[in-house]
Structure 1
Amino acid sequence: MDRVTSEALAVAGGSHWPTGAVASSHFTVRTLERYRPAVAEDDEQVLRYQTALRRSSARVGTIRLELTGLTLTPASVMLCASPSDDAIERFAEYLAEELAGDGWFEAGFIRDIWYANLVHFTGPPDIPQTLVEWVAARRSLDLGASMHTCADLISWTFNGRHMVPATLGSAKLGGSTG
């Protein structure tokens, strides 16, 4: 993902955020709330989120995603993924169940695409048509698979250049060996 992120950033222009870089690459299973610039680890909501994460993670094993190509949105270049089985969908369901009322932000929302943002745009791409053509040429692209044996609770902060994750909790997926 880091390599493809670097390539996409070179085409889009260097002022955008390299969200798919090693330090920040991720697949979002659920967004829990609106952005908060500062989130304390002992925040009451965070403690409930951590409990829900641990409980839901214990109920599902390793998640495998086939990385199938790129797509373009008005906000980002995305890496598309296809689940190898129903583990990620079950995990999302379990997480919604365990969050209960704390899952209000995406209540009733079911993801119909799994993706990792590689580049978030901070403005228009340098040469939009070149980026469109570059992504189109990579729409179907076998990039292998990603194996996920844990899930993290993340908050995002701005480091002056781009968004960086701060881990507020982590849980091993039940049945995972790695």
Structure 2
Amino acid sequence: MEAATGVRDIWYLNLLHFAGPIADPDGLLDWVESHRETFIGTITIDECRLIRWDYRVIDGRYDLLPVTLAASTFTQPNLR
């Protein structure tokens, strides 16, 4: 959806990471298809970050910590 200025006023982000094998890939695809139109909510953000995850051992356990590679603040009023 683009405003009269040609600037998008809506953005989508989808990211899913599986840390192991998927036990039922066909079942997962069926679930995704059946929930494709499910409304989850609306949120307005003013910053976007590109991150990578850093594995570290802290107090004897493994932790994943986000490391920011780049960030951008949305300053255009019609994006808020």
The TM-score with structure 2 as length reference comes to: 0.53
Q: CA deviation at 1:138?
A: 0.3
> What fraction of aligned residue pairs are identical, expressed as a percent?
20
Q: Secondary structure at the match of 1:115?
A: coil
**Number of aligned residues:** 69
| More helix per residue | 1
Q: CA deviation at 1:164?
A: 4.5
In structure 2, runs of 5+ residues without a counterpart are 57-61
Are 2:46 and 1:155 aligned? no
Q: How does 1:113-132 map to 2 (within 5 A)?
A: 114-117=12-15, 119-132=16-29
User: RMSD value over aligned CA atoms?
Assistant: 3.4
Q: Secondary structure at the match of 1:156?
A: strand
Kept after mapping to 1: 8 A contact 2:54/2:67 = no
| Cα distance in 2 for residues equivalent to 1:124 and 1:134 | 17
The TM-score with structure 1 as length reference comes to: 0.29
**1:156 is matched by which residue type in structure 2?**
R
- Structure 1 stretches of 4+ with a deviation exceeding 4 A read 160-164
In structure 1, runs of 5+ residues without a counterpart are 1-82, 90-113
Kept after mapping to 2: 8 A contact 1:150/1:171 = yes
| More strand per residue | 2
